[in-house]
């Protein structure tokens, strides 16, 4: 009796829980879920930012074609001046008047002239050892310079690399969208399947509760045995945990759907429709011409990377070619021993010229960089073959799963119709005493298995189809062309 009261109390609590449902829940279709995810998903937002970054990088690479202008200003304070030495008498330069006087005084005779010559030689030797300090203590300069490439094959090829980088970023963004769509579809189908399972287990619970109440009434009227009541209570008790687990699975599936959509986990949303609404799609099969990998994002990324490597090899080869650049400089300078700027004598200095750079030898750096890029291209070819092989396997797995699910659904659908009819007959027979509770439980178990198998078949087909569509990559092609 205690067990009976306890189980019936739990059943009452279950009914109360079923009544308490949020009133502001928003039901969304699969298309609406995809639209929300495209605008809110974090991976998609990051991919869009990557496209924006690549576009800015491409614009920045074009700056190499325009003149580069730099301004500069400098100040130098001389600590030790440079000294200039010459091999002649610098006293005549520094003081010509004394030399003239000496010459005038020496016109009296040859002896005097000879003495003057000896003195002049000694004075020249002394002056040459002393030297002349050159420059002033403070030096100022300010100006600007400009340069631009006229012929540079390596720079021109690098512009193609920047364009390939933008295309690769766009394709990666498309890949993020494809992955997001696949995840949202599978999460949406998971919610529908969890709700279908919860519906089945709720039906099992309702049937067990109704049978238990009937048997209890018959037991109270002494028309049912204690064993029959115990079996009914056991069936009811076993149905309660399954129902709780299925309801928890629905909550977890909804959280997963919200996570891949990129919305708040506390947002009250629910899926619209039922899993069996998609059973009509289980007749769709793909032809051989529809199973190509031309639009697969992974393959397209590898092709773009191969194009990048080809441009990189060309750029490395072009590094061996001469380049021609135009340069221009305009500068003002002044020198002084003080800081009286108003009295400075600023002198301009400017030039324009061409610079021809001819690479001759760099220790084999350019040669080895070319070889490294070629090896990387060979690695990419091997990786492309392996990726294609794995994608082919994935396509076959998806097709095999879809075909198996279709066959399972056909069998489960027939079994579902038969098991439901069998349960109704067994229930009617049990109510008039023609069948036992064990027969009724067996019929209920068969019905439950058929319902779950049918739902599982639909779910397997839909998830495999979503994975196949993601592998083929037939979505977002028009949007991609517009982006380019």
pLDDT of residue 63: 84
Instruction: Note the pLDDT of residue 352.
Output: 93
CA 411 – CA 401 distance, rounded (Å): 15
Q: Is residue 190 a contact partner of residue 253, using CB atoms and an 8 Å limit?
A: yes
Q: Can you tell me which residue has the tokens 């078949």?
A: 457
* Closest alpha carbon to 258 in 21, 36, 20, 29: 36
Distances 442 to 26, 230, 253, 427, 469 between C-alpha atoms, Å: 39, 16, 30, 11, 41
Provide CB contacts within 8 A for 182, sequence distance 6+.
Answer: 466, 467, 469, 470
Write down the residue that tokens 């005084």 correspond to.
105
The answer to whether residues 41 and 114 touch, using CB atoms and an 8 Å cutoff, is no
What end-to-end distance do the CA atoms of the chain give, in Å? 75
Tokens of 323: 């380049």
**Distance from C-alpha of 355 to C-alpha of 147, rounded to nearest angstrom:** 10
266 alpha-carbon distance from chain centroid: 27
- What token pair was written down for 131? 């030297």
Task: Look at residue 66 and give its three-state secondary structure.
Answer: coil
27 DSSP β-pair partners = 270
Do 395 and 468 form a contact (C-beta atoms < 8 A)? yes
pTM: 0.75
Q: What angle do CA 57, 62, 67 make, to 5 degrees?
A: 130
Low-confidence stretches of the chain (pLDDT < 70) are 1-23, 88-129, 284, 287-288, 476-484
Q: What is the pLDDT of residue 397?
A: 92
Distance CA(465)–CA(459), nearest Å, equals 10
Q: What is the structure's pLDDT at 110?
A: 42
Q: What are phi and psi of 482, to 5 degrees?
A: -65, -35
Pairing state of beta strands 26-28 and 269-271? Answer: parallel
pLDDT attached to residue 90:
56
CATH of domain 2-40+152-321+362-483: 1.20.1600.10
Residues 93 and 6: their CA atoms lie apart, in Å, by 126
Q: Bin 433: left if φ > 0, else alpha if -120 < ψ < 50, else beta.
A: left
CA–CA separation, 341 and 333 (whole Å): 12
Buried b (16+ CB within 10 A) or exposed e, 396-414: eebbebbeebbebbeebbe
The SS3 assignment for 361 reads coil
- How high is the pLDDT of residue 13? 52
How far, CA to CA in Å, does 339 sit from each of 81, 137, 431? 18, 10, 118
Q: What is the pLDDT of residue 354?
A: 92
Could you tell me if 61 and 154 are in contact, meaning their C-beta atoms sit under 8 angstroms apart? no
Pair 305, 378: CB distance under 8 Å: no
State residue 94's pLDDT score: 55
Strand ranges, E, within 136-175: 138-151
**For 286, phi and psi rounded to 5 degrees?**
-105, 140
Per-residue model confidence (pLDDT) at position 100: 41
Bridge-based pairing of strands 347-357 and 323-336 is antiparallel
Neighbours of 240 (CB within 10 A): 19
pLDDT given at position 9? 52
**Cβ(439)–Cβ(231) below 8 Å:** no
């Amino acid at each position: 009796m205690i067990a009976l009261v306890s189980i019936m109390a739990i059943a009452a609590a279950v009914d109360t829980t079923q009544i308490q449902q949020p009133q502001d829940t928003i039901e969304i279709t699969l298309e609406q879920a995809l639209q929300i995810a495209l605008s809110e998903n974090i991976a998609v937002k990051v991919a869009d930012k990557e496209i924006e970054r690549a576009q800015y990088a491409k614009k920045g690479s074009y700056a190499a074609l325009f003149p580069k202008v730099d301004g500069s200003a400098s100040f130098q304070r001389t600590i030790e001046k440079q000294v200039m030495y010459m091999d002649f008498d610098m006293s005549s330069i520094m003081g010509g008047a004394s030399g003239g006087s000496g010459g005038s005084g020496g016109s009296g005779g040859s002896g005097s002239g000879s003495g003057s010559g000896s003195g002049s030689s000694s004075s020249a030797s002394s002056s040459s050892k002393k030297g002349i300090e050159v420059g002033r203590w403070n030096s100022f300069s300010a100006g600007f310079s400009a340069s631009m490439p006229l012929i540079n094959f390596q720079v021109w090829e690098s512009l193609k690399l920047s364009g390939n980088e933008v295309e690769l970023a766009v394709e990666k963004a498309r890949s993020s969208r494809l992955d997001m769509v696949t995840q949202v579809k599978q999460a949406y189908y998971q919610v529908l399947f969890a709700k279908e399972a919860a519906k089945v287990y709720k039906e099992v619970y309702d049937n067990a509760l109704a049978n238990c109440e009937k048997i209890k009434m018959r037991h109270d009227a002494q028309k049912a045995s204690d064993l029959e009541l115990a079996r009914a209570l056991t069936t009811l008790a076993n149905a309660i945990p399954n129902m709780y687990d299925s309801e928890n699975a629905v909550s977890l599936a909804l959280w997963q759907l919200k996570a891949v959509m990129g919305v708040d986990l506390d947002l009250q949303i629910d899926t619209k429709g039922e899993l069996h609404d998609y059973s009509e799609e289980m007749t769709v099969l793909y032809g051989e011409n529809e199973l190509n990998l031309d639009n697969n994002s992974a393959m397209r990324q590898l092709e773009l990377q191969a194009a990048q490597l080809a441009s990189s090899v060309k750029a490395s080869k072009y590094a061996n070619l001469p380049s021609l650049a135009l340069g221009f400089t305009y500068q003002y300078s002044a020198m002084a021993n003080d800081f009286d700027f108003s009295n400075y004598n600023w002198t301009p200095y400017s030039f324009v010229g061409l610079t021809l750079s001819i690479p001759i030898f760099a220790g084999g750096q350019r040669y080895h960089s070319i070889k490294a890029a070629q090896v990387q291209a060979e690695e990419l070819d091997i990786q492309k073959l392996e990726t294609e092989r794995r994608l082919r396997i994935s396509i076959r797995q998806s097709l095999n799963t879809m075909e198996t699910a279709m066959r399972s659904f056909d069998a489960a659908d027939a079994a579902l119709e038969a098991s439901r009819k069998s349960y109704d007959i067994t229930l009617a027979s049990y109510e008039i005493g023609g069948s036992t509770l064990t027969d009724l439980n067996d019929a209920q178990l068969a019905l439950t298995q058929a319902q779950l198998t049918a739902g599982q078949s639909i779910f397997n087909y839909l998830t495999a189809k979503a994975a196949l569509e993601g592998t083929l990559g037939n979505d977002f092609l028009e949007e991609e062309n517009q982006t380019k």
